[in-house]
Amino acid sequence: MTFKKSIALLLSGSMLATAALTGCGSDNTAAAVSNTAGKDLLDQIQARGSITVAMEGTWAPWTYHDENDELVGYDVEVAKLIANELGVDVNFVEGEWDGLLAGLDDGRYDIMVNGVGVTPERQEKYDFSVPYAYNKTAVIVRSDYDEIHSMEDLKGKHTANTISSTYATLAEKYGAEVKGVDDLNQTIELLLSNRIDATLNTEVTYYDYLKAHPDANIKIAALSDEVEKVAIPVRKGDDTKALLAAINDALAKLDESGELTALSEKYFGTDISKLEN
């Protein structure tokens, strides 16, 4: 047998073997796809036995680490209770705000529980649960700063917030120049070092920070007239409708049982789970 014929036979055999293996692999893949075809996100979560929840982990008292480095906060406990109602475990993934939204978009996270305010812009991209918290936005400044007395006074001022957050958007709406930051602590550092004029955040977050730092040289200069609705965003699509309905059912049960009220009073010192306070 010539060298060329040997090579031809070897190649022929190799292709036959590859074809056979590919055929088996295709059958297995098809079977796997067949097993998951038609399953919506809630089905997938219950099949795997856990729900992946995205949050920052740096925003007290919503989601933060305590002195033992344990992830705690209002949103942490709300997420755990929702998972319990769904009959699954909870898997927390921490990251920066923009990355959390991007992960939600591409399906790396099932939901985001991180004090997310409902806005018309976000409603175009996400479906939201019923609100589980309400709050007003505070304009926070240094105690000796006296140039801001209303939201309108933000025009031309320098502020800082996580980019694409409700607070950054609101500051820009009133004409402020917004610097992007990673978390609240970095924001306060910029404020106290005179590198920004103000920052926007929830009123309850301000009081929580002041509780932990009673000597902090900060004050509330103004409050928004609007009350922000806080809810849980999920990706838009037919495959997320059952999950959204299940989350709404869970939140309704937690509201009726008084558990949301108890958690709110635990972390905020007041009940922000209801519109009327």
Residue 240: predicted pLDDT: 97
Residue 276: predicted pLDDT: 65
pLDDT tens for each residue of 92-144: 999 998 899 999 999 999 999 999 999 999 999 999 999 999 999 999 999 99
Residue 28: predicted pLDDT: 37
Q: Which of 14-18, 47-51, 57-61, 233-237 has the lowest mean pLDDT?
A: 14-18
Q: Assess whether pLDDT exceeds 90 at residue 163.
A: no
Give the CA angle between residues 170, 172, 173 to the nearest 5°: 60
Taking CA atoms, 125 is separated from 96, 105, 267, in Å, by: 19, 9, 30
Q: Assess whether pLDDT exceeds 70 at residue 22.
A: no
pLDDT tens for each residue of 101-110: 999 999 999 9
pLDDT band for 33, please (50, 70, 90 cuts). very low
Phi-psi region of 9 (alpha: psi -120 to 50; beta: other; left: phi over 0): alpha
Measured distance between the N- and C-terminal CA atoms of the chain, rounded to whole angstroms: 93
Q: What is the overall mean pLDDT for the chain? A: 87
134-229 falls under which CATH superfamily?
Answer: Periplasmic binding protein-like II (3.40.190.10)
CB-CB contact of 162 with 62 (8 Å): no
pLDDT tens for each residue of 201-250: 989 889 989 988 999 999 999 999 889 999 999 999 999 999 999 999 99
What is the helix (H) or strand (E) element at residue 65, kind and residue range?
strand 64-65
Same fold, 41-131+231-268 and 134-229: yes
Residue 182: predicted pLDDT: 86
pLDDT tens for each residue of 169-191: 999 999 999 999 988 889 999 99
Distance separating alpha carbons of residues 146 and 218, to the nearest angstrom? 11
> Is 41-131+231-268 CATH 3.50.50.60?
no
Can you give the residue ranges of every domain in the chain?
1-31, 41-131+231-268, 134-229
Model confidence pTM above 0.85: no
